[in-house]
Each structure stands twice: as C-alpha cells, then as structure tokens.
Structure 1
Amino acid sequence: MRTYTYILSPPRCTSAMADNILDLDAAVACQRESPKVAKRMRLDTDHVRLDTDHVRLDTDHAGPAAQEACSSPPCPLGGADVALQEGDISVRMTPWGGERDKIFDALNRLRLDRTLCDVILCCEGQEVPCHRAVLASFSPYFEAMFTSGMRESTQDRVTISGVEPHTIGVLVNYAYTGVVCTTKAHMQALLAASVMFDVAVVQKECCDYMVQHVVDINNCVELYCFAEAHSCEGLQTKSMHYMEEHFSVVYQQEEFLSLSVERLTEVLSSDHLNVPEEDMVFEAAMLWLDKCPTHKQSFGQVLEHIRLPLISPSYLHTVVESLDVVKEQQGCQRFISEAKGEQPYSNTARPRSTTVIVVVGETRKRKGSNTFDSFDPLTEEWRTVEDLPMKTDSPAMVASGSTLYLAGGCDRPGHFRGSDTSDMWRFDAQNEKWMKMASMKEERACFSLVMLDGYMFAVGGWGMGGDCPIERYDPSTDTWEVMGEDRVGAHYGVDSCDLGVETRGPKKDTGAGKHYDPSSCDVVALDGHLYFIGGDPQFYPDNKPGGLLAKYNPKTSVWTQLAPMQIPRTDSAACVLNGKIYVTGGLYKHEEYGKVIAETVECYNPQTDRWTMCAPFGGRYKHSAVVDKGKIYVLGGTAIQGNYDDHFRYARMIECYCEETDTWEKAGESTAARFGIRCVSLKLPRYHGYDFECGDYDAQYSPSGDSNDEW
C-alpha cells in the first residue's frame, strides 16, 4: 500500500463556509460518512491510506489562507478535474521527497541518452542536449528565453555566447542533479556564468569558495574589479582587504596601474591602507599617472584622496609641489595649501587606521596592572595606548571596530575575597578616551566577554556568588540583563560549574570532593551561538572529559552538546578564524607526568561537527589567542619545562599561525612577560602622535589635558 501526504482545505467554498474551517476529525468523519463525496473524489479506501501523522489542515481563522484556498482551482486527481460542490473536501497528494529525486534522476538519464530532448545548447562548437522545462525551472534567464516569445523559444539549437563550454556543462548538470562539479581554476568563470543565468544558489557558493580559497595578493586587484562588476559583495570586500593589507606590493602591479580613476580613488580613500607613511600613497598615484597619458587630466581627482597633511613637509615641498601636473591644475594647488596649514583641514587630514593587538594583563613583576599596550604585527612594534582607568587583575575584554569594552576583574589584586568588581569601561580608540558604562549585575573575574549579533555577553568566571549567570549587554541602551537562570556548569555536562581551577569565592560541593568554577573554559561566538570549550579534565565528576564542547543559543536558551576535543585540556586559548574554532595549548593530564603543557592545536568545523589536528606550536597555558589580519597570534602565558611541578617560565615570544599553509612562525616578542593576559584586535589611527612641522595635527587628534579627567 502506498502512503501519501495529504493537504486538506475547503476550496470553492462560500464566504459562510469560510467561517467554519474543517478540522482533522471533521474531515475524516466526512469521508467515512459520505460515500458519495468519497466517490466523487475518487478515493479508493482499499488502496489509499490517510496518514494522519502527515496531514496538514488549513486552520487559519478564515483569513487570507482560507480565502486563497476558496479561490484555488479544483485539484486534479487521476488526470481529471474533480467537480467539487458545496461541502466537498479537496485532497492534494504529495509524494515523498525520494520520489522527486527519482524523477530528476530519470530526467538526467534521458538527457544523457539524448531522449526526448527538445533543445540543444551550442557553445564554441560543443553541443549540450537539454529539456527546455528543466532549464526554465532552475534559471530565470532560460525561463524568459523560452516563454517570452523570443526566437530561441522555437529553435532546436540555441547558441550561448560569452560562456565556456565547461561552465555550461557544469550548470546544466546542476539543473538535473543539484550538484556542482568543477575545479578551482574554473571557479571565476562559473561565478560569472551563474550571475549571467541568474542561478543565485550557485553564485553564492562560488562567491563563498573564492573568498575562502582563491583571493590572494596576486589576483586581489583583478578580483576586486570582477566582483564589483558582478555584484559579489563578499568577494569585493575580501579583495579590498587584501589590497589594503598588502598595498606596498599591490600598487606596483600592472593590474593596479590599469585601474580606472573611479576604482583607484576607492582604494586610495580607504582608511585602512597599510602604509608606513603617506608618502607611499602619493608614489602609487605617480606610478598610475605615468602609466597612461590620459591619466593626467584626472590627477586632481586622485590627489584629493591622498592625505597630504600627513606627508612629511620636506617631501611635500621637494617632490609634490615641484610636479608640473600639480602646478598646472588649480584644484591641486588648493590641496597643497591645505596641507601647509594655509586653509582649514578637511577629511584629508584624517589619519588612516590599522588594526593592532591590544593587551591587558599582569606582568611577572607585579600583580594587577593599569597599562594598556598595543602590538602591531606588521611592524612588530609595541606602544602604550592609554592607561586603564583602574588597576585590575583578570578582567575581561572585547572589541568591535574602534570601540573596546573592559569589565570585571579584581580591583585589589592579590586579595581574593571581596575584591571582584562589576564595573565596565568603554574605550574610544579614535579619541583615546575611557568612559564609565553600566555595571554588570554580578561581580566577577576570570570570565569572558564576547560580541554576538550586536549584543555583548558576560560568561563564566568566579565571584562571591560562585557560579555566575550569563549576562547580556545592549550597547544601544547601556543596560545589562541576566539571561534567565542559565549558568554554564548546569548545562555543560557537569553537576554545577566544575570546569576548572579552584574558586576564590564561597565554595560549592560538586559531588567530586573539589570546589571549582568555570574560569578555565574558553568561550567564543560563532553563527548565532556561544561555544564553550574545554575545562580542567582531572576535576570532572565521574571522570568526565575536559574536552567537552557545548553551544548555547541566547535566543532560545537551548544548550547542545557537540563533539569533544581529541585532547581534553584546560587554560587553553580559543579564537574563530574563517568560520572555524581553533583551540591552542593549555594543560592536559598525562598518565605518567600529571599536568603537562599542551603543544597541540585543534580545529573545529561546525558544519561537520568534527575536530582535526593542526600544526603544533611552542606550547603554553594561561595565554591569549587573537585573530588579526587573517592570522592567529598567540601571546603571553606560561611555558613549562617538564611537567607541571617543574620549573616554569613566562612566554615572551609571540607566535603566528597561517591557516593556508598550516604553519607557525615567530612574530615578535613581548616587552614584558605577561601571565593570564587578554588580547583583542582593535582599530587604531595609524598616524597617532605624528609631529607635523606645519599644521596642528596633534591638537586635533590627540586627547587634551590630563587623561585622568576623561575617566
């Protein structure tokens, strides 16, 4: 007996009938008690079973859905229309999804056998037989071609121009199978064809793949123009990012020098050009000018986007002013006067910005710190940004663009009980000012701050209340709220919050004879969820592994257990890069040596729920991992010589991981050994503090007066 899915609704009913929509029981009773109705609907109860588990009734309150059902045509059964009268029930039978796949498999076999094909696509001498109906079903381009009266609608052979034969074959195969089979080398051509034929799904997949695997320093200019022409926003953004980060190399390439004036000014006007000084931007403009004589007439438009007030006065005088093209164009003279301070500054005096890694944490010499330092991975330079508004130990930190939030910690380092704080401060990197914001509901330290969907979440840590609840902060209203009674430990596969080291607040019996808190698990945000990773493996009740992974949905308050790490660990550092979670270092329990420093790095793919091992690094714990400029940087922490009880040392070396090559390399050294640090990537003005001989840049872009007045 074959089972069907039924959708029952009362079509062709009067307005009076629409007020009384049939329910399931009434529909079944109607079929049983009215054999004439059943006969008219050609329902053979011996061969067709009503599957009540898959019956959906139109139960809208006689609204638009009911009205639409009333106006719909009779449902054809057995190839003939059913003449329905008042009181009849319309039945539409929908086969299971597997039947649909069989139909398309059959159509594909017919195509491959050239059976019942009614059109042949011709491309550069190659022929692809197809069915018009299938092509029209997956592409609005072909639907318009075959249904709008164009001459191709009646032709047996249709010529396709501007597309490679391989690409046509890939798209036709997708129309019949739903599968795209191509190569990396053909990806750009496939993307262009999917745009041309308006196949949105393939276009998105191609764009996502190219963003992840194709864009590099050698093709970023070409792909930037390509993406803009084909309205691929993600690919355009990634290509621009490459041009900005590698501008010192890109501006000498032939593709860059061939850019139109519109595309060139888009690049030169970016706030994020990675240049050691503005002189390099002017040199790029000069190379573009010399490339083609026709560029001379547009040079004024280009010079407008070069920040001449940031160029050194000597270079401005000896190089820029001496150019004939500058002397000849009046608009260029206006920009020179502005750079000299003879006219008020416009946006050309605004410094370009770059992302740097900002660091907060105690040093080897002192508990707690009020220093706020930055590290530029490109120059390997350190500088003090601005002192913290208070001396603190074990705070949490998160950044979004040029805004940074610092919260919690111990305001009296070295004093455990009663020293936690709920204070939060916001740092504006553009003006280098600290501002006091609303305090958290709970005092806590050794916790995590993460940004997700425009909100900020305070997760884990320890305080006077022991296990702290999850709190959410709304930057638009400057308010905190507790996310119900959700606590990390209760949903993390442990009895209370036994995820790590001994708590410094009131102790709670976990059932394992120890007292712990969630300060040693990692928390990251990805795709609408908070991910909780790891914890101390030797302290779990019933020997539960410390490699556990769980995700939390703040919108639904639902927790989900995921695949555990291959190596249980605590005090590791996690970050998100290109949609994957990377966990570095930490401590794990060795059968012979006890606690041992982990040199392993694991990567979690949320799409497959699987962990894979990456290249190992130097190994450390109580450190920080941060993503900056597309790479992972590991700073601070402690490296152990031998097992946990042996001599240990503070790690000063900064290590950098490249995902494309799966390799680690040294990226610099810290100015001071730091333990238990927090790092984030923050956008800062690149030319902060530049001492201009002409103009008053420092007065405009540096905080004035005593910085303590800003707290």
Structure 2
Amino acid sequence: MAKVQIKVEEKLFAVEKTLLVRHSEYFRALFESGMRESTQDKLQIQGFTALGFLTMLRVLGGERPILNCEEILQAVECAAFLQVKALAKYLMNSINSDNCLVMFQAAATYGLLDLFHAAALFIRDIYSDFGDYLDCLPTDLVDYVESLLPSTFLAVGQHTPSFEFLEDYSRTICYLDEDANMWRTLGCLPEQASTFLAGVTTLDNKMYIVGGARGASKQVVDLSFCYDADSNSWSQFSSPQQLRYDISLIGHEGYLLAIGGEYNKISLNSVEKYNVSSGTWTFASDLPQPIAGAPCAKTMGRIFVCLWKPLDTTIIYEYESRKDMWLPIADLKRSQSYGHCMVAHRDDLYVMRNGPSDDFLHCIIECFNLSSQQWTALPGQYVNSKGALFTSVVRGDTVFTLNRMVTLIYSIEDKKWKPKKEKAGFPKGGSLHTFFLRLPKVT
C-alpha cells in the first residue's frame, strides 16, 4: 500500500496512507483537501511529540501497550491534535487508579471530552480513596467530579414469574446503602420478568435482563427487559432470535452479547448481538463448544468467556469484535478447574472454582495476566458460604462479594485479594445477580 513519510520532531515514520485516513480526522481532511501537501510523500507535522505519534501507531497496529504517565500525556495530546478516536478509546479503556488523575487533567487540557468524562466517573467511584491527592486538581475539576453520581452496589435474587395476585418478595431489586450499612429496596421487577437462569448485565447506566425461565420445567421467557436508572423506568425489547435461558450476557460499546445458554434442555453454542440503538439482534460467530451459564468478564475494552472441557481443563476465549472471532488465549489444567465465576481487574482475569475435594464452602482463585500470559494462584482459600464469591463484581480496586450472611469487600493489591471491610448480608437466600448502577437520589 502507498506509504507516506511523517516527520515528527526529529524522527521519521513510514506509515500507510490508508491507515491515517481511516483513523485520523486530521489526515483525512489533509489528504482529501487538494492542497499541495495532499500529494507529497513526505510531511513534517508539528503540535505533538514523536513519542505520542509512536504510541498512536502502536495502538492502531493492534498493540496494547501499558503506558506510563509521560506516555499518557503525550498520547492524549496526539489523539486530540490528530483527532484519532481509536487512540482516545484505548486510553479510556486503560483508566485505572494509578493514571486516572493524569488522564483527567490531560483530557481537560486537550479537550478530549469522552476521556475527560470517563476519567471523572472513575475518580468519583473511588473518591474516598484519594484523600489529599485531590488537592492537586483545580477547583473546577474537583467540582465536576463531585457533581457526578457514584456507583451503587445492587442485587436481585432469582425470580420466576408467578400469578399476579401473589406478592413475590423475590421480585424486588435492592441496593446497598454503604453509609447506613443496610440493604434498601429500589423497586420491583416487571411482573413478567424472570431472573431465574436469565442473563443480567449493565450498559450505559441501564440494567438488561435477557432470557430466563419459568418454573421447574424451564419454560423459556420470550420477553427482555431494560431498567433505566436515570429515569427509574422499565421498558421491554425484543428477545434473541434463538430463545434461550441460562445465558451469559455482557454489555459493550452499544451492544449486548448473549452467549450460549440452553433451549429445551439442550446446550447452545450460538451467540447473538443486540444493537441498542437500532433495537435489532444479529448472530455472531458461534462459540467453540456448546455451553450454558459460562462465566464472562470485560476489561480494557476486551470481552472474555471461560469454558471448560473434560479432563479438568479450563480454556479462556476472547471475543475479537472487529473480526467476529473467538480466540483461545489461555488454558488451565486443575482438579475441578471449571470456573464458576470470572471477574477482571486491569489486565488480570480472576477465575474462581471450588476448593479441593468438592469443598463448596471454600474456593480457589487463579489469576491470568493478559500482558505476561502467565497464570498464578492466589494464596489461601476464600470463603464461599452460600455462593459469596460466585457473585463478585469489581469497582475500582475493590471486589464486592455477597451472600445472605455478609457482604465481603476485598481490596486488590499486588494481584492479591485482601479483606477490606464487611457490610450487611443480603436479606434473601438463593442465587443472586449483582451489579453497579449510578442511582439518582433515591426516595
């Protein structure tokens, strides 16, 4: 393909023109302008650094570099000057507690509004952890962070629709009032909604329920529901083309991904994507094998699912959305290695499974690092009384787990889970769905 030489500072880069035109508004306008520069095969560009331009090229080339603060500053500058959305999105997916303040200030300086807002939301969620560190921010930036809603921990039990005249306590959605240390009722599920063997996830401050079943016969529910936390309202939307229950559901970049599941007690390997803006379902590439209730997780803009095969083998696949492919990235052979739950933190995936000798009161946690491609085992065993660790969700550097007795909260430090605090347990028994939403002031 035709290449152009781009000189930034004193360094020369040979880059495909099509790559620049496809990803950069600046270069698209330049090459289509008809000006003299549009036909030259060598250009000198000013306004950003060679390091920032190199970082952009690495990201556009498919790399996933871990950036230090200086690289972040220069990448933000480059993304803003050249108007490269792919680089800005990569930065958004890389926000963590170590770099969020740098991202926030840099995005404010260079006018990357989506990155600015995403970093502010992250800071709001871990606001109490910063202490005096926020004094380094200008007052107007602190005011913006404080104007945002923090994430709230919510849970809903396994509910199956019953007769309308029967009061069903399992229909309620509850949230944890962390200050008062008690669970409060947010509202009720729609009468026809089922969370029994349903896929439940969140996207853009909305909760989605897809699939599910009624009763012991597992009659599939053919309605899907969306709860909008901003307006405190429910709506219905179409169900997948292949009706299914016991599915895994994950939300990502304007889509819902319904993974596997069962229908008529037969496991499925089909996957469907729901476009939230158009309200349509389309089939994606099939899973490598049929699976129901597969653990899945999302981190750094990437989607992962945990499958298992005979002989105690767990395989983690990544869904490559641009290529619509499931790519195997790791496998693990352990006794009882099938994963009951998987959560993600930064570039680590944590897979939880039963302890030795079918010990359902404890679980073992294995960590797979996406950057080093290495497995490590977390020391010790973690209490799994009534499924606590099988409902884990992460906010910032904190893991929230839940059962009827206690809400166990861990901090993730050096790839270890350290007990942080205990809060009130959930007031109902049975399996749970847990998630975070930003709730307007609840009355």
Query: Is the structural similarity TM-score above 0.5?
Result: yes
Q: Are 2:383 and 1:618 aligned?
A: yes
Give 3-state SS (helix, strand or coil) of 1:564's partner.
Answer: strand
* Pairing partner for 1:457 from 247, 253, 257: 257
Match of 1:255 among 108, 113, 135: 135
Aligned equivalent of 1:428, options 209, 228, 236: 228
- Secondary structure of the 1:265 match is helix
Which residue number in structure 1 is paired with residue 442 of structure 2? 688
Aligned positions of 1:658-677 closer than 5 A: 658-661=411-414, 662-665=416-419, 666-677=421-432
SS of structure 2 residue aligned to 1:369: helix
Tell me what 1:397 maps to: 200
Amino acid at match of 1:564: D
Q: Is the 8 A contact 1:377 1:667 kept in 2?
A: no
How far has the Cα of 1:380 moved from its partner?
A: 3.6
Q: Deviations for 1:272-322, whole angstroms, at most 9, x for unmatched residues?
A: 65xxxxxxxxxxxxxxxxxxxxxxxxxxxxxxxxxxxxxxxxxxxxxxxxx
Q: Which residue of 1 aligns with 2:434?
A: 679
What corresponds to 2:120 in structure 1?
A: 240
Q: Secondary structure at the match of 1:444?
A: coil
SS of 1:240's equivalent?
helix
How far, CA to CA, are the matches of 1:422 and 1:562 in structure 2? 34
Letter matched to residue 470 of structure 1: V
Structure 2 CA distance for aligned equivalents of residues 133 and 424 of structure 1: 52
What is the match of residue 608 of structure 1?
372
Shift of residue 528, structure 1, vs aligned partner: 6.6
Tell me, in whole angstroms, the C-alpha distance in 1 between the residues paired with 2:8 and 2:280.
56
State the one-letter code of the partner of 1:532: V
Matching residue's letter, 2:345:
L
Q: Which residue of 2 aligns with 1:214?
A: 98
Do 1:565 and 1:602's aligned partners in 2 also have CA atoms closer than 8 Å?
no
Q: For residues 385 and 112 of structure 2, what CA distance do their matches in structure 1 show?
A: 41
Q: 2:297 aligns with which of 524, 527, 545?
A: 524
> Which stretch shifts more, 523-532 or 447-456?
523-532
- Equivalences for 1:495-534 in 2 at 5 Å? 497=290, 518-526=291-299, 530-534=303-307
Shift in Å, 1:425: 0.6
Is 1:356 paired with 2:152?
Answer: yes
Q: Which has the higher strand share?
A: 2
Gaps of 5+ in 2: 14-50, 59-67, 160-166
Q: Which whole-Å CA distance do the structure 1 matches of 2:327 and 2:75 have between them? A: 37
Please report how far the alpha carbon of residue 525 of structure 1 lies from its aligned counterpart in structure 2 after TM superposition.
3.9
What pairs up with 1:278-357 in 2 under 5 angstroms? Answer: 353-357=149-153
The reply on whether 1:635 has 2:402 as its aligned counterpart is yes
State the partner residue of 1:386. Answer: 187
Q: What residue identity is the alignment partner of 2:188?
A: D
CA contact (8 A) 1:430 1:684 kept: yes
2:407 matched to which residue of 1? Answer: 654
- TM-superposition CA deviations, 1:309-336 (whole Å, max 9, x none): xxxxxxxxxxxxxxxxxxxxxxxxxxxx
Consecutive unaligned residues in structure 1, runs of 5 or more: 1-57, 59-64, 69-131, 139-170, 179-186, 274-351, 498-517, 637-650, 690-711
What is the CA–CA distance in structure 2 between the aligned matches of 1:371 and 1:627, rounded to whole Å? Answer: 23
The amino acid across from 1:361 in the alignment is G
The alpha carbon displacement at 1:374 in A equals: 1.5
Deviation at 1:578, TM superposition (A): 1.8
Amino acid at match of 2:256: M
Residue 220 of structure 2 contacts residue 245 of structure 2 at CA under 8 Å; is this kept in 1? yes
What is the CA–CA distance in structure 1 between the aligned matches of 2:323 and 2:8, rounded to whole Å?
A: 43
Q: Is the 8 A contact 1:521 1:570 kept in 2?
A: no
Give the aligned partner of residue 512 of structure 1.
Answer: none
Q: Deviations over 1:81-118 (max 9, x none)?
A: xxxxxxxxxxxxxxxxxxxxxxxxxxxxxxxxxxxxxx
Residue matched to 1:560: 327
1:533 & 1:565 partners in 2: Cα distance? 11
Q: Is the partner of 2:120 in helix, strand or coil?
A: helix
Relative distance call for 1:368 and 1:551 in structure 2 (3 A) is farther
CA contact (8 A) 2:254 2:277 kept: no
CA distance in 1, matches of 2:429, 2:201: 18
TM normalised by structure 2 equals 0.68
Residues 498-528 of structure 1 deviation map (CA, whole Å, 9 limit, x = unaligned): xxxxxxxxxxxxxxxxxxxx23431234567
CA 1:684 to 1:596, structure 2 compared with 1: closer, same or farther past 3 Å? closer
Deviation at 1:252, TM superposition (A): 6.7
State the one-letter code of the partner of 1:375: L
Distance in 1 (CA, whole Å) between partners of 2:200 and 2:298 is 14
State the 1:675 CA deviation.
2.6
Match of 2:64 in 1: none
Structure 1 residue 134: deviation in Å?
Answer: 10
CA distance in 2: counterparts of 1:558 and 1:668, whole angstroms: 41
Aligned identity (percent) is 16
Distance 1:238 1:440, change over 3 A: closer
In the superposition, the TM-score normalised over structure 1's length comes to 0.44
Residues 257 and 272, structure 2, Cα contact 8 Å, conserved in 1:
yes
The residue matched to 1:659 in structure 2 has which SS? Answer: strand
> Partner of 1:385: helix, strand, or coil?
strand
Query: Is the 8 Å Cα contact of residues 124 and 149 (structure 2) preserved in structure 1?
Result: no
Q: Is residue 140 of structure 2 the alignment partner of residue 265 of structure 1?
A: yes
SS of 2:382's equivalent? coil
Between the aligned partners of 1:230 and 1:253, the Cα distance in structure 2 is 22
- When residues 582 and 246 of structure 1 are mapped into structure 2, their CA distance, relative to the original with a 3 A threshold, is closer
Q: Which amino acid in structure 1 is aligned with residue 212 of structure 2? A: G
The Cα offsets for residues 628-651 of structure 1, whole Å up to 9 and x where unpaired, read as 244221223xxxxxxxxxxxxxx5
Residue type of the alignment partner of 2:365: V
Residue aligning to 1:442: 242
> 1:667: how far off?
3.4
Q: Which of these two proteins has the greater Rg computed from alpha carbons?
A: 1
Higher relative contact order (CA closer than 8 Å, sequence separation 6+):
2
Structure 1 residues 368 and 548: alpha-carbon distance in aligned structure 2, compared to 1, 3 A threshold: farther
C-alpha separation in 1, matches of 2:103 and 2:274: 39
Provide the residue aligned with 2:316 in structure 1.
Answer: 549
Change (3 A) 1:688 1:447: same
Deviation at 1:388?
Answer: 0.4
Contact 2:200 2:210 in 1 (8 A): yes
What is the aligned partner in structure 2 of residue 369 from structure 1? 170
Residues 206 and 437 of structure 2 are in contact (CA less than 8 Å); yes or no, is this contact kept in structure 1?
yes
Partner AA of 2:405 in structure 1:
R
Superposition RMSD in Å: 4.6
Q: Tell me the matched-pair count.
A: 373
Query: What aligned pairs does 1:79-158 form with structure 2 within 5 A after superposition?
Result: 135-137=10-12
Asked if the contact 1:520–1:570 (Cα under 8 Å) also holds between the matched residues in 2, the reply is: no
Shift of 1:465: 5.9
